[in-house]
Amino acid sequence: MKKKYQNGFFIFGLVLLGIMVTQLDFAEVWRGLKHTGYWFFAVLALWMALYVLNTSAWHIIIKAGQGQETAHPTTNNSRINFWWLYKVTVSGFALNYATPGGLMGGEPYRIMSLAPKIGTERASSSVILYAMTHIFSHFWFWLVSIVLFFITQPLTFGHLTIVLASLVFCFLGLWFFMIGYRKGLAFRAMRLLSHIPFVKRWALSFIERNKQQLDTVDQQISALHKQNRTTFVTAVLLELSCRIISALEIYFILLVIMPDVNYIQCILILAFTSLFANLLFFIPLQLGGREGGFLMSASGLGIASSSGIFVALIVRVRELIFTGLGLLLIKFDRSTPNADLQK
């Protein structure tokens, strides 16, 4: 990636991070961290491990495209260094956390980082396919959580209404992504943007200039899904396991104030909070949405609202730390376009 683009991503993310840090009550953060104690380090270690799972899912998607046609002369997925890809993954998620819409910063950064190694079309298809798999796993996670809720929680009429609405939402989401996997999503996504005010003119111009490339990317996405079913299932399971294991973060934090907390409760809190926060995707770092989700989900499970607020605070601090780390990895990435090809 050219240095000017690298600096652009860094400055863009840093400005947003600075704005979000100013929203914190530092005295409250310090009290929360002191109360959490060594469990906060367990949370940080957990997320370092979770990013390994994320990177693994993306890595096998890239490798699955090894035999596909490409015009790039240096294409060889076995030479993509895993730990370089880990750094790009952490930085990509950092930009996603910081930007409205979630995919406005991280995905372009991933494509521009990977393109010098495997070509723009292959990089684009792998990043789009990974993003689809990441979101697809969320729908499966929410579906699994709904089943857990039915099994473990007493149902009121209000609960039943919310659960049924969530079920419909999940099935619609799964159906949409299965269509996208079979037929590709790049061209359809741009066509969708062409109907949105403010970006309509840009989207139509982009489609006109890049129709052939978009078709190629969609063909590669479809081929990866059809020809490499094992890869597809493995990537989805890695991402789904990441969602389930990440509930340990809430478990570690709640252990400080609720020694009798159980893991199922933590999965349900995470599921509802992530669903609620993702509905507010247009807010940078989902400010307010995530906190509201933790508060409502904790209260809905009979847990004190103060516990939900405490979890939200510690999770927010962890997100800010990894956002800052990801931005630093962008700034101090010294790899040249082909550096990792020699490994």
Average pLDDT, the chain: 81
Among 16-20, 202-206, 339-343, the minimum mean pLDDT is found in: 339-343
CA distance 234 to 230: 6
Q: Which tops the pLDDT comparison, 72 or 327?
A: 327
Give the closest residue to 47 by CA, choosing from 335, 317, 328, 255: 317
Query: Tens digits of per-residue pLDDT, 107-165?
Result: 888 988 998 888 888 888 888 889 889 989 999 999 999 999 988 888 777 778 888 88
| Residue 301, pLDDT score | 76
Residue 334 has pLDDT above 90, yes or no: no
127 Cβ neighbours under 8 A, 6+ residues apart: 58, 107, 110, 111, 114
Q: Tens digits of per-residue pLDDT, 31-90?
A: 888 989 999 999 999 999 999 999 999 999 888 865 554 444 444 444 789 999 999 999
Question: What share of the chain has pLDDT > 90, as a percent?
Answer: 29
Name the band, by pLDDT with cuts 50, 70 and 90, for residue 324.
very high
Q: Average pLDDT in the 225-229 region?
A: 71
| pLDDT over 80 at 101, yes or no | no
pLDDT digits (tens, 9 = 90+) for 247-288: 999 999 999 988 888 999 999 999 988 887 776 655 555 555
Q: Which of 57, 105, 60 is nearest to 243 (CA)?
A: 57
Q: How crowded is residue 166: how many other Cβ atoms within 10 Å of its Cβ?
A: 18
Is the Cβ–Cβ distance between 268 and 301 less than 8 Å? yes
Q: Which two tokens stand for residue 225?
A: 């899904």
pLDDT interval class at 328 (50, 70, 90)? very high
- Region 84-101: mean pLDDT is 86
- Lowest-pLDDT range, 37-41, 95-99, 179-183, 335-339? 335-339
Taking 3-state DSSP, the helix, strand and coil percentages for the chain, each rounded to the nearest 5, stand at 80, 0, 20
DSSP-assigned states of every residue in 180-226: HHHH-SHHHHHHHHTTSTTTHHHHHHHHHHHHHHHHHHHHHHHHHHH
In percent, the amount of the chain with pLDDT more than 70 equals 84
Instruction: With a cut of 70, say whether residue 332 has pLDDT above it.
Output: yes
> pLDDT at position 336, please?
46
pLDDT band at 196 (very low <50, low <70, confident <90, very high): low
Q: How confident is the model at residue 102 (pLDDT cuts 50, 70, 90)?
A: low
